[in-house]
């Protein structure tokens, strides 16, 4: 039987005085806490204390150098939720190497498409080594040969390597801690170079101000390690706080989402995050069962990684109130890989707070005017809190002029967690990062009482008949008004139409709409919702269930859906029905 990982470390808690991840691990290794790995089917499968992780990583560091790697080399690793990934990541830290977490294959993606993606990422990162689970050796071996890697294989194969004689020199405060590819950077790789001082600063801000870590806290996550919220939020930050972490593979969560909640219940977890869709998936599955677990210990149910959906969260709070869940535990946040992870957190213990505004004013004038009672065009936006200490946020217009509160514009942020740049891409860095350290996030939003309110991504904004329209507003209206349409089943985007300007296309996964009559009814109903709620005429297109593309972190990819639509992927008779 596996030894359990205790919640208490037995150490005086240190939170903000480390200089590198190695400093933090060296301290955490003196206590009793660590990582517990779970699967949906078999339960607790592996334990790795921070003490064992430190010893394993130090020994592996010498073997990495013995295999021919040199300080500063980049080491790619498929980021499965396993002890081996964590060992490889920290071995790279001890050896002065730069780990590059890479995504696993999507559940329904093609092998050739995945290998092409990994090749782009590896070439972009200029890697010298690749570690992979055994299941993917045959997939990636030809690519390793083409790239002339110094080392390729499973981590276990390093057992046969003679350790280097000279002691490894760990990464220092000014060195790159790792390269992070954001979920939207897979077509044109832009690896964020995250330095040690940035990740330590961000982890400190998360611990002290965002989560207010305290004795008795325990983290739980199913988020992937190749995504910033999974890697920084639920591996690196808890380790720097000497917290134990329960981990489950993302693919297991997708199959059995309620296992997330049962692990929280079994281990009295207190800290766990998810995008909105994760909470919604749990609500769907709860309808088919009556789970008997206790969520009363869950004090921070974090939200991030996509636009936050208040209706989904209200449904989760109602569904799981009998299990001890409190709506006040919800904590909205805002962040991105270019800021290491976190930029802001809402106040703890207040749940989801929203600002309900007049959508017409926002679309026509860019002002977030509070909605009058009875207004038909209204929209709730979530307040994501004030920026972390040491960070500044400004809202600016297209010319760079500072905007007042409640006027929407581009969100810029400055502070110690902001990246120094995209790895090896100075021109792309200059597009988003000013000489004085202001990062253009690419998001649009406004400030309200010093708190950040996100309205959408700049690249998604649609200009239709002089109105600024957000695609998620159209998507959410259809999802809310039509019971058979789930979150993530709708993708909206605009297309140029010559002198006529932009027109809007809305793709809807046709679940349960069997036969022409049912499909026509669905299209008619969706079109009616868009007219009534947004005064908008759109082209509604039905597509097969499961065919709308997602990013590696599980978010809907509108850009990819648009490309596929233009390429004719949704035009076969059995996949599409259209009424213009």
Per-residue pLDDT of the chain (580 residues; tens, 9 = 90+): 577 899 999 999 997 789 999 999 999 999 999 999 999 888 899 999 999 999 999 999 999 999 999 999 999 999 999 999 999 999 999 999 999 999 998 765 678 988 999 999 999 999 999 999 999 999 999 999 999 999 999 999 999 999 999 999 999 999 999 999 865 544 567 899 999 999 999 999 999 999 999 999 999 999 999 999 999 999 999 999 999 999 999 999 988 999 999 999 999 999 999 999 899 889 988 876 777 899 999 999 999 888 898 989 999 999 999 999 999 999 999 999 999 999 999 999 999 999 999 988 998 899 999 998 877 778 899 999 999 999 999 999 999 999 999 999 999 999 999 999 999 999 999 999 999 999 999 999 999 999 999 998 888 878 777 777 878 888 878 888 888 788 788 999 888 765 556 788 999 987 866 677 788 888 888 888 888 888 888 889 999 888 888 765 567 778 888 888 888 888 643 333 332 2
What domains, with CATH codes, occur in the chain?
48-199+224-247 (3.40.50.12780), 461-579 (3.30.300.30)
Tell me how far apart the alpha carbons of residues 264 and 298 are, in angstroms, rounded to a whole number.
Answer: 8
Q: Give, as one character, the DSSP assignment of residue 206.
A: I
Q: What integer pLDDT is reported at residue 452 of this predicted model?
A: 98
Q: What integer pLDDT is reported at residue 186 of this predicted model?
A: 47
Sheet with 392-396, strands from edge to edge, namely: 392-396, 409-414, 439-448, 451-457
Could you tell me which of 50, 48, 92 has the C-alpha nearest to residue 73?
A: 92
Tell me how far apart the alpha carbons of residues 385 and 211 are, in angstroms, rounded to a whole number.
Answer: 12
- Residue 463's CB is within 10 A of a number of other CB atoms, namely 12
Distance from the first to the final alpha carbon of the chain: 62
Q: What integer pLDDT is reported at residue 56 of this predicted model?
A: 98
Tell me how far apart the alpha carbons of residues 234 and 288 are, in angstroms, rounded to a whole number.
Answer: 29
The dihedral of CA 18, 20, 21, 27: what is its sign?
negative
Whether 448 contacts 423, CB under 8 Å: no
SS3 state at 378: strand
Could you tell me which of 399, 503, 411 has the C-alpha nearest to residue 448?
A: 411
Whether 362 contacts 468, CB under 8 Å: yes
Pairing relationship of beta strands 330-335 and 342-345 according to DSSP bridges: antiparallel
Could you tell me which of 123, 166, 157 has the C-alpha nearest to residue 143?
A: 123
Sheet with 538-543, strands from edge to edge, namely: 490-496, 502-509, 538-543, 578-579
């Amino acid at each position: 039987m596996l030894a359990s990982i205790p919640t208490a470390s037995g150490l005086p808690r240190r939170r903000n005085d480390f200089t590198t991840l190695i400093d933090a691990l060296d301290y955490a290794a003196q206590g009793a806490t660590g990582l517990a790995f779970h699967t949906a089917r078999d339960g607790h499968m592996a334990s790795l204390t921070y003490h064992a992780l430190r010893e394993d990583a130090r020994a592996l560091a010498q073997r990495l150098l013995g295999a021919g790697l040199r300080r500063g080399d980049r080491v790619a690793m498929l980021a499965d939720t396993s002890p081996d990934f964590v060992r490889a990541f920290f071995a790279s830290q001890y050896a002065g190497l730069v780990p590059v977490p890479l995504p696993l294959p999507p559940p329904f993606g093609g092998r050739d498409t995945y290998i092409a993606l990994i090749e782009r990422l590896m070439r972009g990162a200029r890697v010298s080594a690749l570690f992979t689970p055994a299941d993917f050796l045959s997939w990636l071996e030809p690519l390793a040969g083409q790239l002339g890697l110094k080392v390729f294989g499973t981590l276990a194969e390093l057992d046969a390597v003679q350790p280097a004689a000279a002691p490894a020199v760990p990464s220092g405060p000014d060195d790159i801690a790792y390269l992070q590819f954001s979920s939207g950077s897979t077509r044109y790789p832009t690896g964020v170079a995250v330095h040690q001082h940035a990740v330590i600063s961000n982890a400190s801000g998360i611990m002290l101000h965002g989560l207010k870590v305290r004795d008795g806290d325990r983290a739980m996550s199913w988020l992937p390690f190749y995504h910033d919220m999974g890697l920084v939020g639920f591996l690196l930050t808890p380790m720097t706080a000497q917290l134990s972490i329960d981990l489950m593979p993302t693919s297991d969560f997708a199959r059995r989402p309620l296992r997330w909640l049962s692990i929280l219940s079994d281990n009295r977890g207190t800290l766990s995050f998810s995008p909105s869709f994760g909470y919604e998936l749990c609500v769907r599955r709860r309808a088919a069962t009556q789970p008997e677990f206790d969520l009363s210990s869950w004090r921070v149910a974090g939200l991030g990684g996509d636009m936050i959906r208040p209706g989904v969260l209200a449904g989760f709070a109602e569904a799981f109130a009998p299990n001890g869940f409190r709506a006040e535990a919800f904590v909205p946040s805002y962040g991105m890989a270019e800021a290491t992870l976190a930029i802001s957190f809402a106040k703890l213990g207040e749940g989801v707070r929203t600002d309900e505004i007049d959508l017409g004013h926002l679309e026509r004038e860019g002002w977030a005017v509070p909605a009058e009672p009875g207004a038909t065009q209204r929209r709730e936006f979530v307040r994501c809190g004030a920026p972390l200490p040491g960070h500044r946020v400004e809202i600016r217009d297209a010319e760079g002029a500072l905007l007042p509160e409640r006027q929407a514009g581009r969100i810029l942020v400055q502070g110690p967690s902001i990246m120094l740049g995209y790895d090896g891409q100075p021109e792309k860095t200059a597009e988003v990062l000013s000489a004085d350290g202001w990062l253009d996030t690419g998001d649009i939003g406004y400030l309200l009482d010093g708190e950040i309110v996100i309205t959408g991504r700049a690249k998604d904004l649609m200009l239709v008949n002089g109105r600024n329209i957000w695609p998620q507003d159209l998507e959410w209206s259809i999802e809310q008004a039509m019971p058979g349409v789930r979150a993530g089943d709708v993708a909206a985007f605009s297309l140029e139409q010559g002198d006529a300007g932009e027109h809007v296309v809305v793709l809807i996964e046709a679940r349960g709409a069997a036969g022409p009559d049912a499909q026509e009814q669905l299209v008619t109903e969706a079109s009616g919702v868009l007219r009534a709620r947004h005064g908008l005429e759109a082209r509604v297109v039905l597509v097969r269930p499961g065919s709308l593309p997602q990013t590696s972190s599980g978010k809907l990819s509108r850009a990819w859906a648009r490309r596929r639509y233009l390429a004719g992927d949704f035009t076969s008779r059995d996949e599409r029905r259209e009424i213009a």
